[in-house]
Structure 1
Amino acid sequence: MKPIGTHNYYVYIVTNKNKTVLYTGVTNNLQARLQQHYTNSQPFTHKSFAGKYNAYHLLYYERFEYIQHAIAREKEIKGWLRSKKEALINTTNPEWRFLNGDIGLSF
């Protein structure tokens, strides 16, 4: 269990293998959420936008302590043009390397 006052909420951007789609989301468990995106991308299980477009490769994420801040940031990023999202990704991941392994996922 987390100590009082230590909450983790994440705003993240995922893409597909060819990096043609960008999906922005918010979660309190980044590993579990990416696993959901991966599961939803399997044949006959396309239950979400990310699943339909096989977007489960993590490119970018930010951590927040308060859910209200994370939701506000997600809405902000979702309102941006792709070019602005690309610029954001480039600030921390200019090679557009898939970060799944960095957070303990092997897909």
Structure 2
Amino acid sequence: MVTMMMETINNMLIEMYVSFAHAEMEKRAKRQSEGIEAKKERGNWSDYGRPRTMDFEKSSKEYKRVLKGEIKSTECMKLLGLTKPTYYRYKKEYEEKNM
């Protein structure tokens, strides 16, 4: 009998903690969306998010060397200090702007 009562109490506590956590997640999502909307209304949306690692011109200059065959992609990544995904993101941006 005592074991059943303890299990019931534990289950109730777990459900209570879950509901608190869920409510907090909803509050955080609401505050975040309100903050994003306020930033858009103020016109500050362009600086939202993580800053870029380097300017587009510098990456374009080095990527042109890759296209000419002067250096390889891996050398360009090391030269610019970029990770593989970041390098290919800049490459994609370069190709989109120059098509």
TM bucket by the smaller chain? under 0.3
Larger Rg: 2
Normalising by structure 1, we get a TM-score of 0.22
* Greater helix fraction, Structure 1 or Structure 2: 2
The higher relative CO (CA closer than 8 Å, separation ≥ 6) is in 1
* Greater strand fraction, Structure 1 or Structure 2: 1
Normalising by structure 2, we get a TM-score of 0.24
